[in-house]
Structure 1
């Protein structure tokens, strides 16, 4: 296994985890910003690309804060993010993630699944590979597995991060 340059882009789910410790044989940049929306990520993307000119893998977790604010009109901006990353890192694997279930009373699982389906379809029009991990965080009834989340119903517990990083290992270790 050769050392890879890996970028993790997104919001608090990226910022609040030590990705380098989880993937110690690689050079990892954890570039999450708590509270960030898809538009926020786009606004700092040029700076990220300038600071990190090389990447083998780019993992994107964004859109949760848009959905939590009932803003579902972010696909064009998300597509622009993927296009910029594809141009900057033509040989990199680029992996937008599904939005995870969130336990907020005004957002339903169906709302998130619709957003994820839109992200999946949009990603299919690019060279990126959609990483659907939503189901890993739900039980047989489609409800969020509470043990995977903190009490706020949005952020992940250690167990939740173990589930997520387990899914990423297959890609990182290729």
Structure 2
């Protein structure tokens, strides 16, 4: 009887270990009830916004101390107006993924910034890109910036609100990705800023900050800007 119980315990432990492995490697696929699209490393090249914005960035010549690298959440605001500055360059691209970020770093370098704020990962989750790939991409980006004496600052991925389909499942993946990003930043000496402390409550984007479940209202951007301003002041004072 004792041997039988021990055998059952061993089987249970094996099942738990396999479950943990699958969760860590494919958390989005477990939690999201909508089957993700098949991912390829060049999928961002099919994004019409990517093509259009890069076509414009090739002709932009303005330099700035600060550059914003991200997707539509970064793209949809005039950062200079928001923060009452004139030295911020917006390099957000609608619907972009972190592979797309890596593929357009030349348009970050040619701005010659001192700081680069980065927010990316939400579209990776939507497309079923595993968290390890997203984390590694953001680490590669940070190291490329550091090699050029540019300070990388990584923002957490924002939670979605209740208007987003399967928001509970999706936000569980956001939590897991943010923990991975936080750990990666701590190990590599990269600044990590958790926007969700102010913009979210109980793991959900606050209603007053949510435009459509994912994107931000004016109040949401104002709250984000209030987090950024003292960071910019501190970093540029050195």
TM-score range, shorter chain: 0.7 to 0.9
In the alignment, is the contact (CA less than 8 A) between 2:82 and 2:222 conserved in 1?
Answer: no
Structure 2: which 5+ residue stretches go unaligned? Answer: 1-63
In the alignment, is the contact (CA less than 8 A) between 1:6 and 1:26 conserved in 2?
Answer: no
Aligned residue runs from structure 1 range 35-74, under 5 A: 35-49=95-109, 51-52=110-111, 54-71=112-129, 72=131, 73-74=133-134
Partner Cα distance (1:23, 1:56) in 2: 17
Does residue 9 of structure 1 match 2:69?
yes
CA drift of 1:123 comes to 1.4
Tell me what 2:160 maps to: 102
TM-score by length of 1: 0.87
Q: Could you say if the C-alpha distance between residues 82 and 147 of structure 1 is closer, same or farther in structure 2, counting changes exceeding 3 Å?
A: same
Select which of 204, 207, 211 maps to 1:143. 204
More helix as a share of residues: 2
Tell me what 2:196 maps to: 134
Spell out, residue by residue over 1:116-152, the C-alpha distance to the aligned partner (whole angstroms, 9 max, x if none).
Answer: 000111112323201111221222x33221110112x
Aligned residue runs from structure 1 range 118-129, under 5 A: 118-129=180-191
Please tell me whether Structure 1 or Structure 2 has the larger radius of gyration of its CA atoms. 2
In the alignment, is the contact (CA less than 8 A) between 1:82 and 1:126 conserved in 2?
Answer: no
TM-score by length of 2: 0.65
Q: Which runs of 4+ in 1 moved over 6 A?
A: none
Structure 1: which 5+ residue stretches go unaligned? Answer: none
CA drift of 1:13 comes to 1.0
Select which of 178, 181, 185 maps to 1:116. 178
Q: RMSD of the TM alignment (CA)?
A: 1.6
Spell out, residue by residue over 1:25-66, the C-alpha distance to the aligned partner (whole angstroms, 9 max, x if none).
Answer: 3411000000000000000013421x21x2222100111111
Q: Could you say if the C-alpha distance between residues 144 and 23 of structure 1 is closer, same or farther in structure 2, counting changes exceeding 3 Å?
A: closer
Partner Cα distance (2:82, 2:200) in 1: 23
Tell me what 1:34 maps to: 94
For residue 120 of structure 1, give the secondary structure of its aligned residue in structure 2: helix
Aligned residues: 165
For residue 58 of structure 1, give the secondary structure of its aligned residue in structure 2: strand
